[in-house]
Amino acid sequence: MARASGILLHPTSLPSPYGIGDLGEDAYRFVDFLAEAEQQLWQVLPLGPTGFGDSPYQCFSAFAGNPLLISPALLAQEGLLPARALEDAPRFPATRVDYGAVIPYKQALLRAAYAHFQQDAPTELRQAFEAFCEQESAWLEDYALFMALKDAHDGDPWNTWADDLVQRAPNALARARHRLREAIQLHKFAQFVFFRQWSALKAYANAKGVRIIGDIPIFVAFDSADAWAHRELFTIDERGELQFVAGVPPDYFSPTGQRWGNPLYRWEVMAAQGYRWWIDRCRMALRLFDLVRIDHFRGFEAYWEVPAHEPTAVNGRWVKGPGLALFQALREALGELPIIAEDLGVITDEVRALRDALGFPGMRVLHFAFVADASSEFLPHNYVRNTVAYAGTHDNDTTVGWFEKLDAETRQRVLDYIGTDGSAIHWDVIRLLMMSVADTVIFTLQDVLGLGSEARMNFPGRAEGNWQWRFTWAQITPEIAARLRKLTRTYGRSVVKQPSAPR
């Protein structure tokens, strides 16, 4: 990876008059800001349709896009909504997402857009929709049916539906497709619009010299089209009940570990199928993104298996994952893989060996550095080039919030290492990482803006109240862009050629 820097911002955090960040004008304006500050990377996290808790790491599909990210303004520009449909938008909060209000509002707009499409769409757009449905049928048919059935069951999980639907009996599925045909078409239409809007935004970013880093969560949600349609690939029994779930073992941070609840993979079945599902998943990710971060990479070497009946992750065990075999199959099918390995947590020599054999860059998070001595791999003087370094990620507190919560002794260690008084700790940390040997450094927008804990995006282990933060354009000043640009040039992370030194 070439020496570069970038910003982490989920699109839901963008400004928008419609209650949640979307793929419209403000997304293009954010790309312009990145280009002005000479940032080459925008990390967006997963873009899938979210369920309970609004987490992009618990999606209804590993392939679909999130309809909440569709821009109503772009729908109106394309003639899929009359302009008057947007005139009476509710007064949403500007600095957070109120999902309870946003979801029904955006769903109503999509229904109106689909009705308008059915009545007045030009032939060219209809043909494009039909072509999309045909090209994406391998995942789209199951997803649209799954979502239509969830709507018909008031959002209940698929394993609570009628037994013939749980078992996917062909006659039951055929009846459901007939009964719910309009709802199914609506969900297909939403995906068509999402991919159309996202593809245009990504093309604009790439033309501006900005590459997109996306995210593949290693596991999928139990209540997803993937688990329902491909039960044989997961640790789910014939009744639709989980047998084993994913998690991590007890450690310094949690005496009971973390019981995530996702179904685990039946890797032997996937291997027998040539890892076809994973190949399809990565092929989709490489269409959406220029680079892909794989979350919980260590799970490919060995994963923590917890019996589903266990209330915590204490009584689990390590089970070997597919290792090199999976990635060899991916490379044979897709070529070289622009992957970042999220190698945080309990990392063994075997995990490091797998990462290094594949040549993937790992991750370093500065916030983790000061709980150990000078040998900590999270301290910048111990970085290697093939690294993606962060101050903190979406799962961490902001740098300002983190620094304020440190005890006096640890705070002094931070100041001794950085060599400042900490009055602008966020810029101190950005500069420290910019000057490091790591090829790639990423900063959350919250850190660039110097915001405190009120702007934190996610609290791991907390089920609700996450993924709500949004910024406003008043917070991004020309001085911020200029300062970021200067640091980027100073430490050789800009694509702009610097004048050579005089001889």
Q: Which of 151, 295, 377, 404 is catalytic?
A: 295
Q: How confident is the model at residue 371 (pLDDT cuts 50, 70, 90)?
A: confident
* pLDDT at residue 384 tops 90: yes
Give φ, ψ of 339 to 5 degrees: -115, 140
Does residue 322 sit in helix, strand or coil?
A: coil
Q: Cβ atoms within 10 A of the Cβ of 309, count? A: 11
398's CB contacts (< 8 A; 6+ apart) are 392, 426, 444, 446, 447, 451, 452, 453, 455, 456
CB 186 within 8 A of CB 114: yes
Tell me, what's the pLDDT at 499? 52
Tell me, what's the pLDDT at 503? 44
Q: Cβ atoms within 10 A of the Cβ of 185, count? A: 17
Buried b / exposed e across 118-157, counting CB within 10 Å, b at 16+? eeebeeebeeebeebbeebeebbbbbbbbbbbbeeeeeeb
Tell me, what's the pLDDT at 252? 62
Task: Please state, for a pLDDT cut of 70, what percent of the chain lies above it.
Answer: 98
pLDDT digits (tens, 9 = 90+) for 292-335: 999 999 999 999 999 999 999 999 999 999 999 999 999 999 99
pLDDT digits (tens, 9 = 90+) for 196-227: 999 999 999 999 999 999 999 999 999 999 99
Tell me, what's the pLDDT at 96? 97
Q: Which of 26, 342, 428, 447 is catalytic?
A: 342
Tell me, what's the pLDDT at 495? 82
Write down the mean pLDDT value for the chain. Answer: 95
| CA gap 423, 228 in Å, rounded | 52
Tell me, what's the pLDDT at 83? 82
pLDDT digits (tens, 9 = 90+) for 68-95: 999 999 999 999 998 889 988 899 999 9
Q: What is the mean pLDDT of residues 184-205?
A: 98
Is 295 noted as a catalytic residue in this protein? Answer: yes
Does residue 416 sit in helix, strand or coil?
A: helix
- Delimit the domains of the chain by residue range: 230-342
Tell me, what's the pLDDT at 82? 87
Q: How many CA atoms lie within 13 A of 407 on its CB side?
A: 4
360's CB contacts (< 8 A; 6+ apart) are 297, 337, 339, 340, 341
CB 456 within 8 A of CB 467: no
Q: Token pair of 183, please?
A: 């709802």
Amino acid at 121: A
Tell me, what's the pLDDT at 251? 75
Q: What is the mean pLDDT of residues 175-183?
A: 98
pLDDT digits (tens, 9 = 90+) for 400-409: 999 999 999 9
pLDDT digits (tens, 9 = 90+) for 96-143: 999 999 999 999 999 999 999 999 899 999 999 999 999 999 999 999
pLDDT digits (tens, 9 = 90+) for 253-283: 678 988 999 999 999 999 999 999 999 999 9
SS (H, E, C) 44-62: CCCCCCECHHHCCCCECCC
Closest by Cα among 277, 258, 279 to 269: 277
CA angle 297, 393, 70 (to 5 degrees): 90
DSSP 347-414: --HHHHHHHHHHT--EEEEGGGGGGS-TT-TTSGGG--SSEEEES--TTSPPHHHHHHHS-HHHHHHH
Q: Token pair of 16, please?
A: 């928008």
Helix (H) or strand (E) holding 131: helix 123-135
* pLDDT at residue 192 tops 70: yes
CB 3 within 8 A of CB 492: yes
* pLDDT at residue 500 tops 60: no
Least confident interval from 216-230, 335-349, 488-502:
488-502
pLDDT digits (tens, 9 = 90+) for 475-486: 999 999 999 999
Is 409 noted as a catalytic residue in this protein? Answer: no
Closest by Cα among 145, 143, 204 to 173: 145
Helix (H) or strand (E) holding 341: strand 339-341
Q: Which of 141, 280, 395, 404 is catalytic?
A: 395
Helix (H) or strand (E) holding 442: strand 440-444
Closest by Cα among 354, 296, 346, 299 to 321: 299
Closest by Cα among 386, 359, 365 to 433: 365
pLDDT digits (tens, 9 = 90+) for 344-355: 887 899 999 999
Is 156 noted as a catalytic residue in this protein? Answer: no
**pTM higher than 0.85:** yes
